[in-house]
Structure 1
């Protein structure tokens, strides 16, 4: 899906700001830098002949700042002079070196103090965690002196990380026709400046328009916003950042970790306000577990959330990768429940071209990896939001060209910080494990999305309605290939993502949210089958097989929840988890409500009582589980209106729970279905004696003893 670029000619615009590497200008400044494509000047013009006999010589302004002077190939001005819109001259003589050690040193110390204040009090707004490619407003010279010490050679090569510009994807049906764009004059950086902005061509097919941030609303207020965020958490910001990268980042790697940490440690505060606020908000969930922070008063989370929400809305007017990152982090809050924000992020992602294949774009390699990680995180956000809200997805496979995630997409080399703090072996293993977890969640999400597309679209619902009495058979036929994919996905899970291999008493483990998502997918599939069953019209053996398979899924999911350990419960849980826990209870209530006999209904009543108790106890370590408990209570209240079920003796179901021999037309389909739906993946979750369908023994045998431990005797 492409996004048209809305142009408002009536709005007055200043002179367009080209991205960092300025194109050679026709009007020559008598004191500017010219002809600097080679290491040494090839020609000289007028009074500026031989102005730079060697490439390392700084211009007058950079010499005064004592800053590194960087000139991109083919550019007229150095990076800092271009940024400050000033002449880049070479007419002043070098200052005496004694200037550094004379009494004027006191003045320099004052400047350093001013520099420190400028970083803390007036940080430039809206930047991604990268040292050289940030979205900043003009700032005091001392801060620019600090930034200039970074390697800025890739500044003009990035797409979504510009300092003072944002990009918007130009689709094929916009007024910017691709054929007309190809007639533009592009420089060596694939840029072409015209009255409305700067065209940026990333390959032969895709093109973006770069627009200045300063034309957007409240652009100048972001420094104050970031300052307000920092004041709320001061002086615990660094500790919270450490918690974030230790707890959240490994299994949700949508930020350039090393870049962000190095910038933060070096005093660079040019971060996106909603992004860093989102990081702080998530990290605060583990405040009481950190021995260095637990004794202090916890920062005001509600104030942080209010600032983050408002600043995110403002940032959406000049969308960058940091905008999507911030929105995704804010949606991971346990209490977050915003379908509208998810749809906004999808739209912003499409404006940024995140739905496209960037593997061959003329952008830095590390930015490609970052874009892919953010894109797949956005894909998962859309798909799981679609499931938990019961609404149509906004991402379709026909318009999704992002390549599968790979190990290369997690590498951060070449982004400007070559000197990195060495990770311990344990940290390295945790990051690798998290990357595998992230990749497996993407693969599972794709299968879950197929379940949604197969059974819950309006077209599918109408197909099943038109099938009438044959609707269950049609659903089973369509379910088989999806179920096989689920079974194969589970069988191929790496050892590091399996529950039995992920528990470590000294480390938190987020593996639980992956397996919970697996059960939620299974339940979403079986839920549709159970909904289609009609005891008055369905084949008795068909009814038995489907309900038996559903019952097995429910028991396995509940037993999985019962065996979660503290290192699982206290870890990072994906945003959909609180609903996925709830779906298990909803599925149990559905089976209770549709049970054909009193004994079966009592079985589900007992298991739901035990499940509620488990969630209630676990919520002491994972507060978001309170929501699942509340939803269980709501379902229980609805079931109070359920009519009394007949006993087995009174019902048409035999005492064995198995009706007479199935008809010949159903036996082939159902036997194969029984095999497909009873895969070996269930064995690792079942405790006690395994359940083998509707057995001869009374239902009470599947009571509290199958879970182990103490359980309550009455429903809350």
Structure 2
């Protein structure tokens, strides 16, 4: 075992790891520590997210009683875990430092009262808590260093990792300077180090950028005035019941209204607000007095503007939840802001080294799994948001190592094997989407194949084969658009993640078919009468018809209970894309018969979406956009051939059940 000094730490750690019982013998130490912490809080304003020690003391009353839990409270462990103090182990000679017991438990050391600060407001090197460190260095990692914030030292930066691998690190892999520490997490042929910095070194930059130096305690008080702790606990329960199975980026039990970062809690509250009707208490408590989304976002913005200078994992988790969150106005695609959110998320992720695979790093297994899960969901979100907004992805496969989770990552998610299997299935679709965006929709690919149907077919064939083999949609395709009005069986209908997985499947299928049709929709193409070209054109339209038929069946099968599902931001454009592809098929029809079929299909989908939009807000955008074309007058928006114009004119029973003739009212 080895001891080395570290800075005073108040980290925010996952609470999913096993907790040790809290011995009664140490309870007398708590009031003394509470008094010390309260005194220091009055003299130093802790930057947002840099400290949570005052939250730990909130569960201790004036008489020194602990009201949290019968066993060791989460905050008790988080405080000392964050300080880098091991919950087990001692000196190599078998002795124990002040405040440690051979039983593996710790209690506050009286030495903390005399802790000194350096001129920059941080702890001086000589007055630091000891850190018990296992010789393999596995009990310390960049994400649990309290106020010290990690930044990855990249291989092309000025501080060459190969040179830095020659530093005289201690047994924990750390090397100390005055305001900076170097933490080595991996050696060998590809050494990896993090630069750990004191918050004070960013003070000038934060001040210049107008960042408000607000304490997390103040933000927490504001948040609790908006969302009392009892309501917060129920909102967290909704998150873990509805959101976490789809996006397990937070270990179960980690969220707590009293200790979790206020900006993270606020993002959770924003995301689960639509689901409050599924809680028997919140459906009444929040029926007339919901927390202000503007105020919640205000807390997030004030925190992140400060934290983004030195982000931690909780910042990345907050940003990811905000990017996933549906648009606040379901009829407005706030694409510029959402894309900027994603860019900020990715920038912070790069800073923390989330683009790398930590499997070979000297980190605790739970921390490796947490980083890998977070990395995968960032990669997945980038692909889907890029598809939905028509932008090139910000992440490239070569520059992001964790593109799929593994079975070893499951324990930290808290999911059972069956639920994890669905996550793995989604990862396969994500991988396929990456290929679709790269091979069919990158600017270079479009320039190369947009007029070449042979190259397009050669590229899309394998993609379709992989799509069909990787996912079997529950909604069976039907070429008869009228038959779906008869209703369908609900047996085997997917729920929650399975439902959005099916949407993802149809969205990818539609994107591939759009690319197949692209060469045949160009204004001028040579050899129009060539037999191979004509046959390929017919097959392309048949493929598109099969794809759209399945998507139409999927929309028809949506039910009110699908509201209890996380429909991420890109869901709105998925449904809108289906509508516009049907419109494109109608306007590009080769004859009146085909045009009539597609016009009928379009009106059927509009009717289905109109009936379901009040239940599923993600349908509003597509419905509004396609309805606006008919409101303007189809002939006033599009250049139509005569047979297409006649088809739209004769099929003008907008929003009426199929089979009823007569003029629309």
Aligned-pair distance for 1:314?
A: 2.4
1:533 maps to: 520
Counterpart Cα distance in 2 of 1:231 and 1:22: 41
Note the 1:529-568 alignment, pairs <5 A: 529-534=516-521, 537=528, 539-568=533-562
Deviations 1:105-135 (A, max 9, x none): xxx963448x889xxxxxx9xx9x9676559
1:395 maps to: 395
Determine which of 253, 267, 284 is the counterpart of 2:248.
Answer: 253
Is residue 2:609 matched to residue 1:615? yes
Deviations 1:390-411 (A, max 9, x none): 1111211112222741232121
Contact residue 23 and residue 187 of structure 1 kept, 8 A: no
Contact residue 166 and residue 211 of structure 1 kept, 8 A: yes
Deviations 1:258-315 (A, max 9, x none): 333xxx3xx7x23222211111111211112322112222222232123223322322
1:208 maps to: 194
Q: 1:110 aligns to what SS in structure 2?
A: coil
Note the 1:351-366 alignment, pairs <5 A: 351-366=351-366
Q: How many residues align?
A: 527
Counterpart Cα distance in 2 of 1:301 and 1:632: 29
2:480 maps to: none
2:92 maps to: none
Contact residue 141 and residue 185 of structure 2 kept, 8 A: no
Note the 1:270-289 alignment, pairs <5 A: 270-289=259-278
Counterpart Cα distance in 1 of 2:662 and 2:195: 65
Contact residue 609 and residue 712 of structure 1 kept, 8 A: no
Deviations 1:406-427 (A, max 9, x none): 23212149xxxxxxxxxxxxxx
Q: 1:207 aligns to what SS in structure 2?
A: strand
Counterpart Cα distance in 2 of 1:463 and 1:403: 27
Counterpart Cα distance in 2 of 1:183 and 1:472: 56
Counterpart Cα distance in 2 of 1:376 and 1:713: 53
Determine which of 138, 152, 161 is the counterpart of 2:144.
Answer: 161
1:694 maps to: none
Query: Using a 3 Å threshold, how does the CA distance of structure 1 residues 461 and 22 change in structure 2: closer, same or farther?
Result: same
Query: Using a 3 Å threshold, how does the CA distance of structure 1 residues 492 and 408 change in structure 2: closer, same or farther?
Result: farther
Contact residue 509 and residue 567 of structure 1 kept, 8 A: no
Determine which of 494, 515, 521 is the counterpart of 2:502.
Answer: 515
1:46 maps to: none
Counterpart Cα distance in 1 of 2:218 and 2:446: 51
Q: Which runs of 5+ in 1 are unaligned?
A: 1-19, 26-55, 69-78, 86-107, 118-123, 137-145, 414-427, 494-498, 652-699
Q: 2:253 aligns to what SS in structure 1?
A: helix
Contact residue 181 and residue 196 of structure 2 kept, 8 A: yes
1:30 maps to: none
Aligned-pair distance for 1:556?
A: 0.9
1:315 maps to: 307
Aligned-pair distance for 1:711?
A: 9.2
Is residue 2:436 matched to residue 1:440? no
Counterpart Cα distance in 2 of 1:362 and 1:584: 47
Q: 2:360 aligns to what SS in structure 1?
A: coil
1:15 maps to: none
Q: 2:195 aligns to what SS in structure 1?
A: strand
Query: Using a 3 Å threshold, how does the CA distance of structure 1 residues 22 and 227 change in structure 2: closer, same or farther?
Result: farther
Is residue 2:224 matched to residue 1:230? yes
Q: 1:454 aligns to what SS in structure 2?
A: helix
Contact residue 152 and residue 195 of structure 2 kept, 8 A: yes
2:621 maps to: 627
Counterpart Cα distance in 2 of 1:555 and 1:248: 30
Note the 1:320-335 alignment, pairs <5 A: 320-335=312-327
- The structure having more radius of gyration, on CA atoms, is 1
Counterpart Cα distance in 1 of 2:426 and 2:466: 14
Contact residue 496 and residue 562 of structure 2 kept, 8 A: yes
Aligned-pair distance for 1:601?
A: 2.0
Query: Using a 3 Å threshold, how does the CA distance of structure 1 residues 258 and 462 change in structure 2: closer, same or farther?
Result: same
1:110 maps to: 62
Contact residue 606 and residue 623 of structure 2 kept, 8 A: yes
1:139 maps to: none
1:182 maps to: 165
Is residue 2:451 matched to residue 1:455? no
Contact residue 473 and residue 502 of structure 2 kept, 8 A: no
Q: 1:602 aligns to what SS in structure 2?
A: helix
Contact residue 31 and residue 64 of structure 2 kept, 8 A: no
Q: Which runs of 5+ in 2 are unaligned?
A: 8-22, 44-59, 69-73, 85-104, 109-130, 207-211, 329-333, 475-488
2:283 maps to: 294
1:370 maps to: 370
Root-mean-square deviation over aligned CA pairs: 4.2
Aligned-pair distance for 1:156?
A: 5.8
Contact residue 213 and residue 219 of structure 1 kept, 8 A: no
Query: Using a 3 Å threshold, how does the CA distance of structure 1 residues 284 and 709 change in structure 2: closer, same or farther?
Result: farther
Query: Using a 3 Å threshold, how does the CA distance of structure 1 residues 64 and 298 change in structure 2: closer, same or farther?
Result: closer
Q: 2:607 aligns to what SS in structure 1?
A: helix
Note the 1:560-599 alignment, pairs <5 A: 560-599=554-593
Query: Using a 3 Å threshold, how does the CA distance of structure 1 residues 711 and 483 change in structure 2: closer, same or farther?
Result: farther
Determine which of 597, 603, 617 is the counterpart of 1:603.
Answer: 597
1:10 maps to: none
Counterpart Cα distance in 2 of 1:713 and 1:343: 51
Counterpart Cα distance in 2 of 1:24 and 1:642: 68
Query: Using a 3 Å threshold, how does the CA distance of structure 1 residues 488 and 354 change in structure 2: closer, same or farther?
Result: same
Query: Using a 3 Å threshold, how does the CA distance of structure 1 residues 532 and 492 change in structure 2: closer, same or farther?
Result: closer
Note the 1:42-121 alignment, pairs <5 A: 63=29, 65=31, 110-112=62-64
Contact residue 569 and residue 618 of structure 1 kept, 8 A: no
Query: Using a 3 Å threshold, how does the CA distance of structure 1 residues 435 and 519 change in structure 2: closer, same or farther?
Result: same
1:642 maps to: 638
Determine which of 273, 290, 304 is the counterpart of 2:296.
Answer: 304
1:659 maps to: none
Deviations 1:541-561 (A, max 9, x none): 222111111011111101111
Query: Using a 3 Å threshold, how does the CA distance of structure 1 residues 547 and 300 change in structure 2: closer, same or farther?
Result: same
Query: Using a 3 Å threshold, how does the CA distance of structure 1 residues 480 and 358 change in structure 2: closer, same or farther?
Result: same
Contact residue 597 and residue 647 of structure 1 kept, 8 A: yes
Determine which of 231, 237, 245 is the counterpart of 1:242.
Answer: 237
